[in-house]
Structure 1
Amino acid sequence: MNDAQLGVLSLLLEVSANPKPGNVDREHEFSDLKFEHFILSAVSAYPVFEECMNRKGSIGTNFFNAVVRSYEVCGTNVHFGAFFLLIPLIWCKGKVRDVEDELKKTTHEDSLAVLTAFRICKPRVMDVKKLDLRRKNVKDEIVERKVNLYQWLKNSPKENVVAREIVEGYWRSLEGCTILRNRYEQCGDLNEAIVYTYISLLSKHLDPLVIAKHGLDTAYYVKERANEVLDDFSFENVRRFDEELVERGINPGSIADLTCVAIYLALKEGLI
């Protein structure tokens, strides 16, 4: 498979993994975000992933195109964070070490493409002090200071694991890749391996989407509960955790995005 195909497959495998506490999977969905939205969004991204793999356009324009195609098909934000993480990797054909240099080559036009994509689908984001996507004058600031993607992402708060991941060498996703491969080797069940990886990442990192919607204390609580589930891992315990998060409306979507990348990297290494 080529990198575009692996990108789509990673999105499909992530949403198909079940149970995945707090997130859309085969057993439950939200009123405005359904299982089929993720399928449609993943498939719609293939032409963009292919152009990205072949170095057509730029990182920013490919991200914009992926978001727009998904939004046109689904009418809602589905894969904003996952696209943001995957596009630079696909651009570099999965070579994590090359991403930083490629980001440094981006221009403020790439940043404007990200801003425009954000304003189309309006995902929930954390409060930030510098270059907040929601500020009306952020476009003027980007243009005036010629802020490229690398400079923008370097200003992200440490809790924003999606933004930090790209400028910190994807170390969280690489860790997830190792966990996924090891678990799959042990159990021989890809669904279990993906669920286990998701819980593992959730036990290690605060989810910025949870922070943005519910606050820091709730994000810490989710992290602690994930640790408890991981200490006594079983699908029964995972389902209890899932039921709790769904009942409370807690959706750790950013950790799901990291899981997508972990799957992509594992597929690159020959997982299946």
Structure 2
Amino acid sequence: MSDRSTDQNAELALLLEVSGTPKPGNVDREREYDDLRFEHFLAGAVGARPGLELAAAGERVGHAFERAVEGMSGQSGGNTQFGALLVLTPLVAAASADDLTTAGVERAVDQTTVADAADFYRAFEHVDVAVDDPPEGLEPLDVRRGSEAIPTLEKRGLTLSDVMAQSADVDGVAAEWSSGFERVFEAAEGILDDEGPVADRASRAFLRLLAAEVDTFVVTRNDRETAAEVQRRAQAVLDGEEDATELAAEFVARDVNPGTTADLVAGALFVALERGLVV
């Protein structure tokens, strides 16, 4: 067992996630975009640490998340790990309460408040995040409004859990918040049962998750047809019909970035580290 603290494991999970390769379409230690590089993710992980420390110390989830995003944003690449931090923060909160289980994370989510929702909205002021337009009638709650939406949150009494529930059908991270992080915990078990270098296990976990469900970030940035293609071709890699490295090069060239899947891998790595994964 490691003597790393919970917040250290969260930071390490971010570092291991971006180190995994190949992860078709994502930045990794061998592939990057002109304006979004491997080094940006390393700096983002280090910058997020103070916010993760707050979550480990029992601070409100929303406050810890907003502080983590603020720290993450202190590099020149922009948004590197917004979604990953939204996955990690309630997991860290549950771990700090010695209850890193589906039920434990559900409790952490259920305990979020309107103040947490307000902090979540403030986090959007630190970096640009790719999101869809809100459904009709929810325009006042468009997350891109940042602090301007807080009076509406307060008037309607919406907690951060409520906000996540509203997006659970279109956003893969929000869906985890509403399901006890089922996919994250399942992926963590896969990582623990796997063998070899941890970064390689992360790459394989990424492909399994990508083949199982469409990546909602691809749906948002590209379209649903592309997301379905990504899912189909990830399964082809698992079936030995396509080469993962070649697919990674193609997706980067096409600017197809399955970021939601990477966010879930970061969460899975954290759970695995907390459960004894040796690095």
Q: Same fold (TM over 0.5)?
A: yes
Whether 1:41 and 2:51 are equivalent positions in the alignment is no
Residue 200 of structure 1 corresponds to which residue in structure 2? 208
Whether 1:156 and 2:167 are equivalent positions in the alignment is yes
* Percent identity of equivalent pairs: 34
Report the number of matched residues: 266
Residue 52 of structure 1 corresponds to which residue in structure 2? 55
The alpha carbon displacement at 1:51 in A equals 2.0
The alpha carbon displacement at 1:134 in A equals 3.0
The alpha carbon displacement at 1:75 in A equals 5.5
Whether 1:265 and 2:237 are equivalent positions in the alignment is no
120-129 or 223-232, which deviates more: 120-129
TM-score (norm 1): 0.92
Whether 1:223 and 2:231 are equivalent positions in the alignment is yes
Aligned equivalent of 1:134, options 144, 166, 172? 144
Partner Cα separation in structure 2 for residue 267 and residue 221 of structure 1: 32
Partner Cα separation in structure 2 for residue 231 and residue 259 of structure 1: 20
8 Å CA contact 1:106–1:150 kept in 2: the answer is: yes
8 Å CA contact 1:64–1:117 kept in 2: the answer is: yes
Partner Cα separation in structure 1 for residue 119 and residue 75 of structure 2: 19
Per-residue CA shift, 1:87-132, capped at 9, x if unaligned? 1111111343222223222221211111111132121023442443
What SS is found at the alignment partner of 2:80? coil
RMSD of the TM alignment (CA)? Answer: 1.8
Residue 177 of structure 1 corresponds to which residue in structure 2? 188
Tell me: CA distance 1:102–1:194, structure 2 relative to 1, closer, same or farther (3 Å).
closer
Partner Cα separation in structure 1 for residue 80 and residue 253 of structure 2: 21
What SS is found at the alignment partner of 1:6? helix
Tell me: CA distance 1:127–1:157, structure 2 relative to 1, closer, same or farther (3 Å).
farther
**4+ aligned runs moved over 4 Å, structure 1:** none
The alpha carbon displacement at 1:140 in A equals 3.3
| Partner AA of 2:151 in structure 1 | D
28-37 or 122-131, which deviates more: 122-131
Residue 97 of structure 1 corresponds to which residue in structure 2? 103
TM-score (norm 2): 0.90
Partner Cα separation in structure 2 for residue 209 and residue 97 of structure 1: 27
Q: Where does the alignment leave 5 or more consecutive residues of structure 2 unmatched?
A: none
Q: Where does the alignment leave 5 or more consecutive residues of structure 1 unmatched?
A: none
Partner Cα separation in structure 1 for residue 24 and residue 30 of structure 2: 11
| Partner AA of 1:210 in structure 2 | V
Tell me: CA distance 1:127–1:226, structure 2 relative to 1, closer, same or farther (3 Å).
farther
Residue 11 of structure 1 corresponds to which residue in structure 2? 14
Partner Cα separation in structure 2 for residue 44 and residue 201 of structure 1: 27
What SS is found at the alignment partner of 2:263? helix
Partner Cα separation in structure 2 for residue 18 and residue 124 of structure 1: 24
Partner Cα separation in structure 2 for residue 168 and residue 31 of structure 1: 36
Residue 69 of structure 2 corresponds to which residue in structure 1? 67
Whether 1:146 and 2:157 are equivalent positions in the alignment is yes
Per-residue CA shift, 1:202-243, capped at 9, x if unaligned? 00121111111111111111000001111118xx81011101
The alpha carbon displacement at 1:48 in A equals 2.0
Partner Cα separation in structure 2 for residue 75 and residue 244 of structure 1: 22
